[in-house]
Chain A
Amino acid sequence: MQELDTVGQGSVRVTRKSDKLVILEKDLATEQMVLAMGPQHPSTHGVLKLECLTDGEVITEAIPCLGYLHRCFEKCCENVDYPAIVPYTDRLDYLSGMNSEFAYALAVEKLLDLEIPRRVEFIRVIVSELNRIASHLVAIGTYGIDLGAFTPFLFCFRDREIILGLLEWASGARMLYNYIWIGGLAYDVPTDFLKRVREFVAYFRPKAVELQNLLTENEIFVKRTHGIGIMPADVAINYGWSGPMLRGSGVKWDLRRNDPYSVYPEIDFKVAVPDGKHSVIGDCLSRHLVRAVEMEESLKIIEQCIDKIPSPEGFNSRSAIPKRIRPKAGEVYSRAENPRGELGFYLESDGKSTKPVRCKARSSCFVNLSAMKDLSKGQLIPDLVAIIGSIDIVLGEVDR
């Protein structure tokens, strides 16, 4: 049979025919094309720009360029009081504001060594798990869009809408809550809130199954994501991955379980890792499946929290909030499990001022995205889209 091989710099294509070289094409000069994907591109999830070096449809290198949404979060924090940072943390990862607030509140509480009322802890867990579901719904829905399925996206947003309504009912705002304050909550939840959350859980279970049938089990979807963008566990850890991304690579690591905070130790839930039967461990499909399972686990956490929550009698959500927040001099690095991974806050206090000397947000997306260069090497453009989608970036958190 014929054997094809290439001589030189892609300038001649020859074929070897019984010891004789036959030139098929001369001067077949191929050039690499620089393709600027973004910052206005439908599937870069905001204002991410990828400078792709492409050879045909194959990507030789994709370099992420950030900063289009840089809002100087850290500089802002150095100029406002500790409680006033909370609304800014909402704007980091705007799809899961509650979780960001929770992480920040935990950090300052650690610095202050505060005791938090139990009901506050439970409400915090309930709202942040609701927000986690909302965030994963966006992740799954937009992932569908990235792969060309539009309908699951709208189903996801329909259900997210209810969660946003619930959170608005509790906090007064739909996305940027400023609800979890340092040492407490802005308000107690409304009277029927927990009942309605329970109803939501009952409502959402069949919808999640429907979503799974429509998107996750679809053969085209599986084929598009199976074995794409594989990240081995050790490399993932070296890249500092966390959250569903790390669990997608098969590492059973969840800060709610491994570095527990709040009331998570009392709650029974499963850390979702792919089993390797439906997907290659570490590929896009694993990450997607982890998110899908995590929604189910969040529902379980919410149910358990509603069962265990102390009664609201004599409860003041602001009782533990200090009058003036001025932590003693010291540093803290505190983290919480965000829908996108580990959101950490490094705070440094000088003990004199009511403003932090340094407040760094270790955003999960920023770190997860840094592996993009490795992940995208040698992939096709449609696969690149699938990989970006599976990282589930929120540019507000990447650029801060």
Chain B
Amino acid sequence: MSEYFGNIKTGAVTIATGMGITLKHFFNAVHRKGDAGLDDVDYFRQVDGLCTLQYPHETIPTPANARYRLNNDIDDCIGCGQCVRACPIGCITMETVKVAPDDLGACGKTRDGQQKKFWIPVFDIDVAKCMTCGICTTVCPTECLAHTPVADFSEFDRSNFIYHFGNLTRLEAEAKRRKLADIQAKAKAEKEKKEEEN
């Protein structure tokens, strides 16, 4: 019998405690936690009150080192292809054309002064496949491939998720290829000629 009344008593007391807690939160709803980022000094200043944000209008700031959308700065890319090999899921496709010797100037240099030796007609990243592991960015020698803190990049069409970073159009690439082939053929012919002469 005492257990019976004890149960009723603990039931009533614990239910009242719980209701007290929810009521406290109900009245705390006049405060808002706000969208302070973790790097703000007073991140933990307001601990009570509403903690959600209205997403598109207010956002939690993403830290600068956040790894979300993959971006390639093609001006710095030397076309080494390490990222393609490193990617565990193969979401990067790359095609390169060797730069003809007289085009080296046109192809330019990277930011730290390294001569680029490849045209990159195709540098496609399928960000729908990308799992933002960041392995490609660690192998990149020029640090041109990087994850940006842009987290929200939804699309209506799946094909829009394939980001094209190539620095040549298809026609240009064809021209460069032909040019290279010509030069190579010429060089080969010259070499053969030389050999014949010898």
Contacts and interface: CB of A to CB of B under 8 A. Distances in A.
B86 to A, nearest CB: 7
Band of interface residues on A = 35 or more
Contacts of A172: 63, 65-67, 134, 147
B108 interface: no
B14 A218 contact: yes
Interface string B24-36: 0000000000000
Contact of B131 (A87, A166, A192): A87
Contact of A196 (B18, B38, B65, B66): B38
B44 interface: yes
B105 interface: no
Given A87-B135, A214-B21, A169 B63 contact: yes
Contacts of A88: 88
B39 A169 contact: yes
A165 B60 contact: yes
B135 A178 contact: yes
Most buried by B among A80, A83, A166, A172: A172
Interface string A85-111: 111100000000000000000000000
A213 B135 contact: no
Most buried by B among A85, A199, A213, A214: A214
B11 A84 contact: no
Contacts of A162: 38
Contact of B65 (A80, A187, A203): A187
Contacts of B37: 165
Contacts of B63: 168-169, 172, 190
Interface in A209-226: 210, 213-214, 217-220
A219 B15 contact: yes
Contacts of A84: 86, 88, 133, 135
Interface string B49-93: 001000000001011011100000000000000000010100000
Contact of A214 (B7, B11, B18, B88): B18
B44 to A, nearest CB: 5
A144 to B, nearest CB: 11
Nearest to A186: B134
Contacts of B43: 196, 199
Nearest to B63: A169
Contacts of A220: 11, 15
A52 interface: no
A11 interface: no
Nearest to A165: B38
Contacts of B86: 84
A215 to B, nearest CB: 8
B135 A173 contact: no
B44 A203 contact: yes
Contacts of A210: 21
Contacts of B14: 217-219
A87 B15 contact: no
B132 interface: yes
A76 B89 CA distance: 9
Nearest to B13: A219
B51 A161 contact: yes
Given A168-B63, A168-B66, A196-B38, A86 B133 contact: yes
A176 B18 CA distance: 35
B10 interface: yes
Contacts of B44: 196, 199-200, 202-203
A213 B18 CA distance: 7
A161 to B, nearest CB: 7
A213 B17 contact: yes
Interface in A246-286: none
Nearest to A318: B138
B8 to A, nearest CB: 9
B130 to A, nearest CB: 11
Nearest to B147: A172
A76 B133 CA distance: 15
A196 B36 CA distance: 13
B22 interface: yes
Interface of A: 76, 80, 83-88, 151, 158, 161-162, 165-166, 168-169, 172-173, 176, 178, 186-187, 190, 192, 196, 199-200, 202-203, 210, 213-214, 217-220
CB-CB nearest 6 A-B residue pairs = A87-B133, A172-B67, A219-B11, A84-B88, A178-B133, A219-B14
10 contacts: A84-B88, A87-B131, A162-B38, A172-B65, A199-B44, A202-B44, A203-B44, A219-B7, A219-B11, A220-B15
